[in-house]
Structure formats: structure tokens, C-alpha cells
Amino acid sequence: MALAEPAAPSTAGPPQDHFVSIRDVDLVYGRGETGMQALGGASIEVQKGGFAAVVGPSGCGKSSLMKLVTGLLPPTKGTISVAGKIVDGPVNVAGMAFQNPTLLPWRSTLQNIMLPLEVVEPHRRKLRRNRKDYEAQAHDLLAAVGLTGFADRAPWQLSGGMQQRASLCRALIHQPELLMLDEPFGALDAFTREELWSVLQKLWMERRFTVILVTHDLREAVYLADTIHVMSARPGRIVASRKVPLAYPRTLEDTFKPEFVDIVHELRHHISRERQAVS
Amino acid sequence: MTDTVSSPAAAPKRRFQINDNWAPWMVGIGALVIWELACRIFAIKPFVLPAPTAIAASLWKWHEVIAVHAAQTLYTTLLGFLLAVVGGLALGVAVGYSRFLYKALYPILIGFNSVPKVAIVPILVIWFGIGTIPAVITAFLLSFFPIVVNVAAGLATVEPEMEDVLRSLGASRRDIFFKVGLPRSMPYFFASLKIAITLALVGSVISETIASNSGIGYLMLNASARFDVPLVFAGLFVVAVLGVLIYAVFAMFETRFTGWATRAQAIRFEGGG
């Protein structure tokens, strides 16, 4: 049984070694009376190499969190730091993937995956000279997500699940230390989604980047994350944080085990309470 | 053979198969035949409605003159259109790129576009005299608006997620423009060319009809003044042919350069995953 020895989350390192730290952050869109408060006093800490999931009722400002951590939006109050530095502009250590795979239709799958390299330093300067090496890396990633042989296909030739795999590759090509995922599997059918859980888990276990996953799917959160943060309704703050003491790698079999189901129930309970608070 | 199995109701009748590529030709020729017959049966006077054969005869009789005037029309159309492409692309990019310029220029552009361009021709004549220049400018004025609007629309519809992905990597607005915005607006641009080129032709002919001494528009006006109605119709026919031809050329460019935008609707590759 996975729980025979309470497996510590395999993220080693001293507990104060937070790779991402969100401290008491407020975020208000607009100004004055018309301002809409998306976040109110949200705090999350994620260790280096950790896998955090953020769940919550819809419209609780989960996606705002993504923009804050990647430096696309400044917080109204509070501080955010990534890799020991206060975030005050776009952090280029992050890769992002969304529910919409947003592949560019005029580029082949390989060219789509290489896109971040054309933008992010220091790869940008080296790309021309080391194109062969970078292409090899891209092919490795494609192989890791099960897309071997699809490099030269146009995105429209790929199914939804394959496009999402390619989108994951694009998020990882510049070897980011932080992967931000905003409901990446939300638009996929249940079987494809479960398949991609294991693809993502495998990539994460091999490469050990830090992940923040925003999701609606509680089973997905429990399957993948070592820590799950439950957000309140707007203005969002963290109402509960739950470690998931299941050993990695987790399998689909694990999702039917009582300890797995218990955690899902517990999370569901938190969220339904938050939803009632609104209505 | 198989029809008896698949659809017993239709089986007894054996219809001959028509390739539907021929349908427009058959409709066109059918209409001409009916027109010809109607003219003959009801003895319609040629200065009211000339029969297609009379138009064809006129076309043949005047073909040298018509060729000269058609060349003039084509010249002013293409020149006006070329200016519209350059100006429209530049303005479209500016409006799509800068929020300020969008706010500042868009209402003015719309206001300008709702002015009937025929009304501007007399002013152009005062400024530039009659002939080529007003025709070129009218063609330009009519055709540049759809190019501006389409290019701006293409730039404005970049997915916000795509922008987030690139901005979080430290991409400048310029990077995003060249990597995403501009390629994305190309299908809109090429689609607008098809509309713009036909509008340019309309502009040229309008201007020639009002103030010119050459071009198909002038030829038609002149012919109608002499009650040479078959020649008026011959001019109309030439304009129609020109319009279809230039449309076809730009439709071809569109599929050639931005095929990816239409192929996306083709059947997707269904693979595992």
C-alpha cells in the first residue's frame, strides 16, 4: 500500500526554502468604487521542486494568481517572490500552459515548441548557432509526451489531446524552473485527461521543476500535487492547505483507494462551504 | 448496380451525372439564350435592350477601342489598389498595434467610410482636373477601408493566453507583433484584398463616368449619349469580366499564401491522445 510508510513528499530541502512565495497578496482590478477585488490576503508557499495545486469555486481569482506569479500583473498589496527574488516584472524562469493550447496554426508542431527559444534570453542569442542542439531537445520532449513523429505536422492535424501535449512541450522547452498550469486539461475528455496526468507526472518526476497547477478537478489535484491549496470565493484567499501523503508515482489505481477518495471528499467539503458562503 | 441496393426509389430513373463545376456556366448560357429569344420573339428595340448577339457584334466591331479603354481602367484600378494596399496595411497595423491610435482614428475612419465616394469625385476634379488622377484616387478611397479594418481586426484578435505566454518570457511588444500578430492578420489581409480590388474597379469606373475622357466608364457614357446601347452593354460586359478576373487572381494569392487558415477546417488527424 502506498500509505504503509507515510511517504514524505519527495521534495527534499529545508522547509524555509520556498521557491515561490506569495505573501498576503491583494489584487484589485480597476480603481475606486468600480474596482473589483480578485484576491484578498492570499498566501501560498511552494518549495523548490514541489507540486502545488490551487482549487476553488469558479471565479475565485485562481487565474489572477497565475498572472501575479509570472509577473504579468503587479499585486495591489503584498509581495510575491520567485527563486528568491521579488517579482516586479515578467519572470523568465516560468513556462505556462492553458486550457486553450494556443498553438500557432502557421507553424509546424516543432516550430511551435521552439517559439519560446526565439524570445527568452539567453536561448534567443544562441538559437541560430545551436539550432541542431535545441531541435534535439525539442524532439526529446516530444518523445517524452508521446508525440514522436509528429514534429512536422501542422497543429490542425493533431487531436485536442495531442495539441495539449505539444503545448506542455512548449511550456518546458526553455527548461523553466517553474511551470504554471491554468486548467491545462480542462477541455479534454476524461480518458485523455487521465493519460495526460501520468505524462505530466512523469515529466515532473524526471525534471523536478516547480509546478503550480490551477484546476477545477479535485481528482486531478489529488493525483498530481503534493500540496493542495483551497481558495475561498472572491476576494480569494487560502482557506485550507492540504498535504497529499501518497507516494509518487501515483497511478490510476490509486485514485480508487480510500485514502485518495477521502482527500477528494475533504476538498469537496471545503469548496461547497465556500460556494455556500457566496449564495 | 449499387443504386438498386442503396436507394430503390431512385433506381428506376437513370439521371445523367452533372459535374457541379459546370453549373454556373450552364446557368449563364441558359440566361443568355432566354435573353436572346425574348429579344427576338417580342421584337425588343436594340436601344432598349440589345440581344446578346448584338452586344457580341458590337464587342467585336469596337474591340480595338474597347481594349484601349479597358487598359486605362485596369491601369487606374491597379494603381489605386496598390496605393490602398500600402496605405491600408500601414494604417491597419498602426490602428491594430496602438490602442491610442485605434481610439483616435477609428471613429474618423468610419465617418469617412460612410461618405459616398461619388460625392468626392467633383472635388477631386477641381483639384486634379479630369482623367487618370481622380480615377486612381477614387479607386484608392473605395478600396483602402476594408484593408485597414481587416488588418486591424487580425491584430486585435491575438489570444490573450498567447500574449501571456510570450510576455512572461520577456517578449517585447515588437516580438509579439512579428511572431504572432502580423502572421495572424495575414489571412484577414488577403481576404480583404479580394474585396478591395473589386471596390477599386468600382471606384475607377465611377470616376471615369463622371470626369474622364478615357476608360470603360467614359466609353459607356459616351456610347449611351449616342444611343449606341449595344456598346454600353459591351462595356458592361468588359467591366464584369475584368472584375471576375482580378478577383480570381487575388483569391489565388489568398490560398497560396495563407492556406493554413483554411486548411484548419479540413479533417483533423485523429490520433491517440
Q: What ipTM was predicted for this assembly? A: 0.77
Cα-Cα-Cα-Cα dihedral sign, residues A249, A254, A258, A262: positive
CA-nearest of A158, A169, A96 to B267 is: A158
CB neighbour list of residue A125: distance below 8 Å, 6 or more residues apart:
none
Count of Cβ atoms closer than 10 Å to residue B211 Cβ:
21
| Arch. (CATH architecture) of B53-263 | Orthogonal Bundle (1.10)
CB of B207 closer than 8 Å to CB of B135: yes
Decide if A58 is inside a domain.
yes
Q: Of chain B residues 227-266, which have a CB less than 8 A from chain A?
A: 258, 260-261, 263-264, 266
d(Cα A273, Cα A7) in Å, to the nearest integer? 30
Instruction: Give the best residue of A68, A70, A92, A106 to mutate against chain B (max B CB count within 10 A).
Output: A106
Decide if A144 is inside a domain.
no
Q: Identify the pLDDT of residue B15.
A: 58
Count of Cβ atoms closer than 10 Å to residue A30 Cβ:
9
Indicate the SS3 state at residue A78: strand
CA-nearest of A276, A201, A197, A273 to A240 is: A273
A56: domain range?
A: 17-27+37-93+214-279
The three-point CA angle A217-A222-A225 to 5° equals 105
pLDDT per 10-residue tile (average), chain B, 273 residues = 44 59 89 94 89 93 93 95 94 88 88 88 91 93 92 86 84 88 89 92 93 91 92 94 92 83 51 37
Decide if A152 is inside a domain.
no
CA-nearest of A238, A252, A181, A240 to A214 is: A181
Domain boundaries, chain B: 2-41, 53-263
Instruction: Find the residue in B nearest to A120 (Cα).
Output: B169
CB contact under 8 A, B164 and A67: yes
CB contact under 8 A, B264 and A105: yes
DSSP single-letter state for residue A108: -
Q: Which three cell numbers stand for residue B213?
A: 475622357
Pick from A90, A100, A146: CB nearest B273: A146
Q: A244 — phi, psi (to 5°)?
A: -110, 105
Decide if A113 is inside a domain.
no
CA distance B172 to chain A (A): 9
Q: Which three cell numbers stand for residue A214?
A: 490551477
Q: Identify the pLDDT of residue A1.
A: 37
Q: How many domains does chain A have?
A: 1
CB contact under 8 A, A104 and B268: no
Pick from B168, B186, B263: CB nearest A96: B168
CA distance A88 to chain B (A): 12
H/E element, A21: strand A18-29
Q: Identify the pLDDT of residue B77.
A: 95
- How distant, in Å, are the alpha carbons of A29, A103, A155, A172, B116 from that of A107? 35, 8, 8, 18, 42
- How distant, in Å, are the alpha carbons of A33, B69, B126 from that of B131? 61, 12, 12
What is the number of alpha carbons within 13 Å of residue A40 lying toward its C-beta?
Answer: 10
Residue A60 maps to which CATH number? 3.40.50.300
d(Cα A48, Cα B273) in Å, to the nearest integer? 30
Q: pLDDT (tens digit, 0 to 9) for every residue of chain A, 279 residues total? A: 343 444 444 443 344 568 888 888 888 887 766 778 888 888 888 988 999 999 887 776 777 888 888 888 888 888 888 888 888 888 878 888 888 888 888 899 999 999 988 888 778 888 888 888 889 989 999 998 888 888 888 888 888 889 999 999 999 998 889 999 988 898 888 888 998 999 999 999 998 999 999 998 899 999 999 999 998 887 888 888 889 888 888 888 888 999 999 999 999 988 888 877 766
Q: Identify the pLDDT of residue B268.
A: 41
Q: Is A112 on the interface with B (CB under 8 A)?
A: no
pLDDT by residue (tens digit) across B222-243? 999 999 999 999 999 999 999 9
| Predicted structure pTM score | 0.76
d(Cα A137, Cα A174) in Å, to the nearest integer? 9
Q: Is B182 on the interface with A (CB under 8 A)?
A: no
d(Cα A85, Cα A210) in Å, to the nearest integer? 15
Pick from A66, A67, A162: CB nearest B273: A162
Q: Is A59 on the interface with B (CB under 8 A)?
A: no
